[in-house]
């Protein structure tokens, strides 16, 4: 695809491209690339801040139907939190846009944002997806991996862990025993094993990674965006507890606002009259 830079960032790239360059369909695909290959795309606070901003851009763009999350280069998708930016309490970003010099765990917000983004998010994994980088792909809706991809946890090796989505959602994906193995032993798993375990959706040759990922995105771009949105909310409703149910409930409210019945309530309030709800059918 012909990716066009759509915003200026330091640690990441945000690009979008027409989903169907041959004009055989509409809409755009967004791609967010962590661009710190010298540290295997580890994220510092500024990186996470920029990713949050980029995901917001993708969410707000009515043309964008699917978001791809990637790492720069063939060696790594993401190696997790930048250990050089790790202070004595959280990750410290003197270069961060937000509070400077204060230990943070901002990636929590990013995980929630990916889970709640009302558009599918696809992790495109080449090389290492380890530590907090592994959690990022777990949070994405789908994962397409290159044959050189390596998955695993390192958290307990470096005095860290993610008992949130990084453990609970992982366990939904591969089962409790395997999720515990991944976290308790900190081994590395190749792409074939990841596919066998249901940790990824597809494995392709590294040279074909983007082409295949785009194909998956194009398939989704041909489908009803609101149906996909509600499906995502439905999948997460139980997993995310009350917050998941709230998302699904508010999505139905968004649809309900489009009905004459809901609009009658609004109009009656504005016109200072009793709403005439009796004219609406009490559907079975």
* Residue selected from 4, 89, 99, 158 as contacting ligand 2NE according to rule CB under 6 A: 158
Nearer to ligand 2NE, 161 or 256 (CB): 161
β-pair type (76-78, 128-130): parallel
Minimum distance from residue 283 beta carbon to ligand 2NE (Å)? 47
Which phi and psi (to 5°) does residue 13 adopt? -120, 140
User: Contact between 154 and ligand 2NE (CB under 6 A)?
Assistant: yes
Of 113, 49, 99, 107, nearest in space to 81 by CA? 107
- Interface residue with ligand 2NE among 48, 68, 69, 130 (CB under 6 A) is 130
d(C-alpha 109, C-alpha 56), whole Å:
12
Q: State in angstroms the smallest separation of the CB of 68 from ligand 2NE.
A: 21
Kindly tell me the burial class for residue 73, based on how many C-beta atoms sit within 10 Å of its own C-beta (0-12, 13-18, 19 or more). Answer: middle
Q: Does 162 bind ligand 2NE (CB under 6 A)?
A: yes
83 is in an annotated binding site: yes
The answer to whether the annotation marks 160 as part of a ligand binding site is yes
Structure tokens at 215: 């194909």
What residues numbered 68-127 form the site for ligand 2NE, per CB under 6 A?
76, 79-84, 107
Supply φ then ψ for residue 135, to 5 degrees: -60, -40
Could you tell me whether strands 12-18 and 4-7 are parallel, antiparallel, or unpaired per DSSP bridges? antiparallel
Q: Return the residue matching tokens 């901002």.
A: 106
- Structural contact between residues 57 and 16, judged by C-beta atoms closer than 8 angstroms: no
Using the rule CB under 6 A, give the single segment among 55-63, 152-160, 201-209, 267-275 that binds ligand 2NE. Answer: 152-160
Following DSSP, what letter does each residue of 37-87 receive, concatenated? GGGTT-B-HHHHHHHHHHHHHHHH-TTEEEEEEEESSSSEEE--B-GGGB-
Q: Is 125 annotated as a binding residue?
A: no
Q: Which of 13, 28, 40, 115 binds ligand 2NE (CB under 6 A)?
A: 40
Among 14, 55, 128, 189, binds ligand 2NE (CB under 6 A): 128
Residue 130 or residue 233: which is nearer to ligand 2NE going by CB? 130
Q: Give the orientation angle of helix 107-116 with respect to helix 165-174, to 10 degrees.
A: 40
Tokens 């025993």, residue located = 177
Out of 6, 42, 70, 191, which residue is the one contacting ligand 2NE (CB under 6 A)? 42
Q: Is 81 annotated as a binding residue?
A: yes
CB of 206 to ligand 2NE, least distance (A): 15
**Residue 131 annotated as part of some ligand binding site:** yes
Find the distance separating the first CA and the last CA of the chain, reported in whole Å.
Answer: 47
**Judged by CB under 6 A, which stretch of 16-24, 109-117, 150-158, 276-284 contacts ligand 2NE?**
150-158
* Interaction site with ligand 2NE (CB under 6 A): 39-40, 42, 76, 79-84, 107, 128, 130-132, 154-155, 158, 160-162
Q: Binding-site residues for hydrogencarbonate, please? A: 153-155
Q: Binding-site residues, please? A: 40, 79-83, 91, 128-132, 153-155, 160, 257, 272
């Amino acid at each position: 695809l012909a990716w066009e830079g759509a915003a200026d960032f330091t640690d990441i790239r945000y690009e979008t491209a027409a989903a169907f360059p041959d004009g055989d369909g509409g809409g755009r695909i967004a791609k967010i690339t962590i661009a710190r290959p010298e540290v295997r795309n580890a994220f510092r606070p500024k990186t996470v801040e920029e990713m949050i901003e980029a995901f917001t851009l993708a969410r707000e763009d009515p043309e964008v139907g699917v978001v791809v999350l990637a790492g720069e280069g063939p060696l790594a998708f993401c190696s997790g939190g930048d250990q050089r930016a790790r202070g004595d309490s959280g990750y410290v970003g003197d270069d961060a846009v937000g509070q400077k010099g204060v230990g943070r765990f901002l990636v929590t917000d990013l995980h929630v944002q990916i889970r709640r983004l009302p558009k599918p998010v696809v992790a495109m994994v080449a090389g290492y997806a380890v530590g907090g980088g592994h959690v990022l792909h777990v949070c994405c809706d789908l994962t397409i991996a290159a044959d050189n991809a390596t998955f695993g946890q390192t958290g307990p090796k470096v005095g860290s862990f993610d008992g949130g989505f990084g453990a609970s959602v992982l366990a939904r994906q591969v089962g409790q025993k395997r999720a515990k193995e991944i976290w308790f032993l900190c081994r590395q798993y190749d792409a074939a094993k990841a596919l066998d375990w249901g940790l990824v959706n597809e494995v392709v040759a590294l040279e074909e990674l983007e082409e295949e990922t785009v194909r998956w995105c194009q398939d989704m771009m041909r489908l009803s965006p609101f149906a996909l949105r509600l499906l995502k909310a439905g999948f997460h409703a139980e997993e995310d507890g009350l917050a998941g149910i709230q998302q699904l409930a508010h999505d139905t409210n968004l649809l309900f606002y489009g009905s004459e019945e809901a609009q009658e309530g609004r109009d009656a309030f504005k016109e200072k009259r009793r709403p005439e709800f009796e004219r609406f059918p009490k559907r079975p």
